[in-house]
């Protein structure tokens, strides 16, 4: 499984960041530019994913996103797990959105 740090991800332009946390978590705080597809809805909403882009999957700390990356890799998506997740993003002082 490929991984990326939050600082490496923040340097990428127009990265497809998929946040797999639940809606209430996403509303509290999220990486700017992240799209929400909760893990609990992932299979039903998989068709919303861009098939031709690398997907950077983020959760709170990296555990749920790792499981989603494994799922995506098994389906031939290019997916990368974001190490440390949203907590690491916020703690690094990177731009976040709330609400």
Give the separation between CA 50 and CA 62, rounded to whole angstroms: 21
The per-residue pLDDT for range 47-63, each reduced to its tens digit, is: 999 989 999 999 999 99
Number of domain units in the chain? 1
Whether the pLDDT of residue 91 is over 90: the answer is: yes
Residues forming beta bridges with residue 97, ordered by sequence position: 30
- Structure pTM? 0.96
Q: Which of 10, 58, 59, 79 is the catalytic position?
A: 59
59 within 8 A of 19, measured Cβ to Cβ? yes
**Residue 7 belongs to domain spanning:** 2-97
CATH (domain of 26)? 3.40.250.10
The per-residue pLDDT for range 3-24, each reduced to its tens digit, is: 999 999 999 999 999 999 999 9
Mark whether 63 is an active-site residue.
Answer: no
């Amino acid at each position: 499984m490929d991984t990326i740090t939050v600082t490496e991800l923040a340097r990428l332009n127009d990265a497809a960041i998929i946040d797999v946390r639940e809606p209430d978590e996403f509303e509290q705080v999220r990486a700017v530019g992240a799209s929400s597809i909760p893990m609990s809805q992932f299979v039903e909403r998989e068709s919303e994913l861009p098939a031709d882009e690398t997907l950077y999957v983020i959760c709170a700390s990296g555990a749920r996103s790792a499981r989603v990356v494994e799922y995506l890799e098994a389906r031939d998506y290019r997916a990368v797990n974001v190490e440390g997740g949203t907590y690491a993003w916020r703690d690094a002082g990177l731009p976040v959105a709330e609400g």
